[in-house]
Structure 1
């Protein structure tokens, strides 16, 4: 009896193993944050200004280059049985925001992913080959840079967020740090957003061995970090997260879902296997918030969110997600709420649909209320009455100018002389 049970379990395990083995990787999208960089800006009293950084503000450092070269090598190992061993322009498309640090991160990443070999070596002493990275001007960027500032409704949501009791409680609890930042940095006004910016500057300076200011203790730095992470939560969630996502990260999610759906049943001759997106911490956070898997912590340098589309022999398609935010550990799986790790594509599309806007431009408009309608009605009535008054005045003027009715000067006939006087 025991032998039969063991045999049954072994057989079941073998069947399960076969089912898993039958699932085949079909398409991958990776979104990552750029690597280590210099500060984006300095605060007024900061002793380190742009001249103190090798390439100025907001530029990829050599450490950032190494981080992305290593990430590229990781992707090569992970997808070595999926991607061609050498670069094939039909298999990969790379898109970046129009910033030096994201463009350079993509290039460093590709150097690790596709080291040249054979005919692709154009200099024996150079283990690198040029691979195209596509972008659009920042003024036209609507896919990879968040939050976008072109949405009045989103601005209204942010204002509402800052008036919630939960938001006010957090800012009150850290008011001493907010005041300290204002007093020590020379900033005229301080808020969660400006504190976030100051933390970023101090964090970059510390990573690059620059001495901290006297007022920055480990306790203060930890509080600033907490406020920084809180800033990410507020920007993409915390209050009315789904609506915020529909106006921000949902735009990128819509594009990713569309591509996954198309690649599950590709057109004949379609050879694309990897979509690579090089962007920012806010991009990763916005996307993860729209998937409801954001952990509330700023995505670190070179963090990478992976979407893997696989198909089985029955023609079914599945989407699985993994997040790599620590180069010393394997990526950890992200499960879409309401689904499994290997989420059937139709379920993935259905679950994410409420987080995607069908008409973002319309949803970005500020909603009208009863007061607006009353104002419109009052203006219409006032306009109508004004037209009536104008019509009456015109009638009076015309009546006065009528020569038949005009009783002013007229010819007098001298009856005796028979001529005009």
Structure 2
């Protein structure tokens, strides 16, 4: 189903959680080996794929067979592209679209790029008339559009709350080094990262150009 976390994505997040466990629990001893509920805070946007991303990563950080954790079962989510129009596109000007070419816009190209990226990773074939150069052009437009859409005040509106919370957490740790809470993370989207890079003046649509 479009927009859902795939089984591969779940395993990737669980692997990342295992790597974090190796670093911050086994080697550094920063977190307790057994799960302590009030030492970790986890936030996610209200989207199923980001919630599942956080859940899968926590499975790696604290596997189900560790004391204090619950046994888990991962559902097999898959992203399928089975629309016949995307399997074989007879007209050159219908490469990227499902419907009327006149309805195509940058947002639709960006959305389709996400789907094709997953297909590429899973070794699924591209639509018949879509070339590697087409894919690279779509990627360029996708990156540019993501930065352009959240430029200026919009990126500040998206990230002000996150940055304020980050500063509050640091201030809280400085003022109370013995507090139980040690770990806070947010499961969000690539657009959140783009906005953060803009606010920190690290990148922009002009850099992509």
* Distance change >3 Å, CA 61–CA 183, structure 1 → 2: closer
From 83, 86, 106, give the equivalent of 2:31: 83
Q: Counterparts of 2:42 and 2:148 in 1: how far apart (Å)?
A: 30
User: Does 2:11 correspond to 1:66?
Assistant: yes
Aligned residues of 1:181 and 1:190 also touching (Cα < 8 A): no
User: Does 2:143 correspond to 1:229?
Assistant: yes
* Distance change >3 Å, CA 258–CA 121, structure 1 → 2: closer
Q: Displacement of 1:204 after TM fit?
A: 2.4
Which structure is richer in relative contact order (CA contacts within 8 A, separation 6 or more)? Answer: 2
Aligned residues of 1:182 and 1:190 also touching (Cα < 8 A): no
* Distance change >3 Å, CA 120–CA 250, structure 1 → 2: closer
Q: Counterparts of 2:161 and 2:22 in 1: how far apart (Å)?
A: 31
User: Does 2:102 correspond to 1:186?
Assistant: no
Q: Displacement of 1:251 after TM fit?
A: 2.7
Q: Displacement of 1:183 after TM fit?
A: 7.5
User: Does 2:184 correspond to 1:270?
Assistant: no
- Residue 270 of structure 1 aligns to a residue in which SS? coil
Q: Counterparts of 1:257 and 1:121 in 2: how far apart (Å)?
A: 30
- Residue 46 of structure 2 aligns to a residue in which SS? coil
* Distance change >3 Å, CA 272–CA 129, structure 1 → 2: farther
Uncovered stretches (5+) of structure 1, i.e. residues with no partner: 1-55, 123-127, 131-178, 297-421
Q: Counterparts of 1:279 and 1:253 in 2: how far apart (Å)?
A: 14
Q: Counterparts of 2:67 and 2:97 in 1: how far apart (Å)?
A: 58
**Bigger fraction of residues in strand:** 1
Alignment deviations for residues 224-243 of structure 1 (CA, whole Å, 9 cap, x no partner):
11111111221233xxx3x3
* Distance change >3 Å, CA 215–CA 205, structure 1 → 2: same
Q: Displacement of 1:77 after TM fit?
A: 2.1
* Distance change >3 Å, CA 290–CA 193, structure 1 → 2: same
Q: Counterparts of 1:95 and 1:73 in 2: how far apart (Å)?
A: 19
Structure 2 counterpart of 1:204: 118
Uncovered stretches (5+) of structure 2, i.e. residues with no partner: 74-91
Q: Displacement of 1:64 after TM fit?
A: 0.5
TM-score by length of 1: 0.39
Aligned residues of 1:120 and 1:129 also touching (Cα < 8 A): no
Pairs aligned (count):
183
Q: Counterparts of 1:283 and 1:99 in 2: how far apart (Å)?
A: 14
Q: Displacement of 1:287 after TM fit?
A: 2.4
